[in-house]
């Protein structure tokens, strides 16, 4: 059985679906602080907090866990700047607990949900895995601390891990059964779709004086189904006894500016709405684009939905379903 921490959240729920479709038994562990129980439509579910070591031990006693996919974390960069302690406790300390209990029960494989935030403001793009790790906010710092911990556990305690550094996760399940549902929402695409559906009056661009073609930030948007597929491939990679711990970037290798994302959302939804320009949001790098050649080569990972319109289309289908009360 595969344990999925944070499996009631956005990315974890998509991996839960894919693993079940691929013949794996899953156990979702989530404290539902951010996750949604209704997103756990496959496998078993336990409402447990990773900070509660005794509860965690009883989960490992009860279920035959062969590997762990670890998503449970807070993920708002802005909030991490306001409340850093929360991030070090939830993202780092709780992962330490998890690794301790895994070690106690002889569970030796883990796939970790890491982030492009580790690179901070990159010196060159596209970004390779060996670029300097210099996070500029507590969120990225907490994830880097976990990567360092994983490396130690791998070097000295026989743990095998794969750390997957996502760029901008976007889109939704193509069958529209699950999707993004953050509360409060801070991510660009769902906020733009809120404007399209009439939940907000307008969308604000945070800064148009960046060093990019149109002055707005450029990001590499990667479909959540492609992320899910990379996790499945990472699990299969760790099932091979001779494969070592490893780290992979996950992105499409192409960047879209905030303006391009907004225009694509207008095109896909067929709705026009007001676009305002505000000052910069703290801690936003100009450009983040992945070099994911390593994942393509070693994991044989090939994104199926690299087209931004396809990504927005699936996000829009889900957004309409989630907000059906806004549709006249």
* Residue 90 binds ligand UFG (CB under 6 A): no
- From the list 31-39, 51-59, 111-119, 234-242, the region that binds ligand UFG by CB under 6 A is 111-119
Binding mask 58-87 for ligand UFG (x = CB under 6 A): -----------------x-x----------
* Residue 115 binds ligand UFG (CB under 6 A): yes
Rounded CA gap, 186 and 77, in Å?
9
- From the list 33-41, 187-195, 223-231, 235-243, the region that binds ligand UFG by CB under 6 A is 187-195
Rounded CA gap, 81 and 283, in Å?
9
* Residue 196 binds ligand UFG (CB under 6 A): no
Residue 119 bears catalytic tag = no
Question: Which residue lies nearer to ligand UFG by CB, 27 or 288?
Answer: 288
CA dist 161 → 148, 151, 157, 323 (Å): 11, 8, 12, 38
Rounded CA gap, 223 and 311, in Å?
6
Between residue 254 and residue 293, which ones bind ligand UFG under the rule CB under 6 A? 258, 281, 284, 288
Q: Is 325 helix (H, G, I), strand (E, B) or coil?
A: helix
Q: Region of 280 please: left (phi>0), alpha (psi -120 to 50) or beta.
A: beta
H helix intervals, the chain: 10-21, 53-62, 77-82, 84-87, 94-104, 138-157, 188-197, 224-239, 258-269, 293-298, 308-322
- From the list 38-46, 151-159, 172-180, 182-190, the region that binds ligand UFG by CB under 6 A is 182-190
Please give the residue whose beta carbon sits closest to ligand UFG in the complex.
217
Binding mask 120-139 for ligand UFG (x = CB under 6 A): -------------------x
Structure token pair of residue 240: 């091979």
Structure token pair of residue 314: 């699936």
Tokens 């499409």 -> residue: 252
Q: Which residues are catalytic?
A: 139
What residue ranges bind ligand UFG (CB under 6 A)? 75, 77, 115-117, 139, 168, 186-188, 191, 203-206, 217, 219, 258, 281, 284, 288
């Amino acid at each position: 059985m595969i344990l999925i921490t944070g499996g009631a959240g956005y990315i974890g729920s998509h991996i839960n679906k894919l693993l079940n479709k691929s013949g794996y038994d899953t156990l979702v562990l989530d404290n539902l602080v951010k996750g949604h129980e209704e997103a756990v439509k496959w496998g078993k579910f336990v409402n447990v907090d990773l900070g509660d070591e005794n509860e965690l031990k009883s989960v490992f006693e009860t279920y035959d866990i062969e590997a762990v996919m670890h998503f449970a974390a807070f993920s708002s960069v802005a909030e991490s700047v306001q409340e850093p302690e929360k991030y070090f406790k939830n993202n780092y300390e709780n992962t330490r607990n998890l690794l301790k209990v895994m070690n106690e029960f002889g569970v030796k494989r883990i796939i970790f949900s890491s982030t492009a935030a580790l690179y901070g403001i990159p010196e060159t793009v596209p970004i390779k895995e060996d670029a300097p790790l210099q996070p500029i906010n507590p969120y990225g710092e907490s994830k880097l601390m976990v990567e360092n911990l994983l490396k130690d556990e791998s070097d000295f305690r026989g743990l095998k891990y794969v750390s997957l550094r996502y760029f901008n996760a976007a889109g939704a399940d193509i069958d529209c059964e699950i999707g993004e549902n953050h509360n409060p929402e801070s991510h660009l695409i769902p906020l733009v779709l809120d404007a399209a559906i009439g939940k907000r009056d307008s969308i604000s661009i945070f800064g148009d004086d960046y060093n990019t073609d149109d002055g707005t930030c450029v990001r590499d948007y990667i479909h959540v189904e492609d992320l899910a597929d990379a996790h499945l491939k990472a699990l299969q990679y760790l099932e091979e006894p001779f494969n070592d711990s490893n780290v992979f970037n996950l992105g499409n290798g192409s960047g879209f500016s905030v303006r391009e994302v907004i225009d694509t959302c207008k095109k896909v939804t067929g709705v026009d709405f007001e676009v305002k320009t505000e000052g910069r949001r703290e801690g936003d790098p100009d450009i983040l684009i992945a070099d994911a050649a390593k994942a393509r080569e070693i994991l044989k990972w090939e994104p199926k939905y690299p087209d931004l319109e396809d990504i927005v289309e699936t996000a829009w289908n889900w957004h309409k379903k989630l907000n059906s009360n806004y549709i006249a």
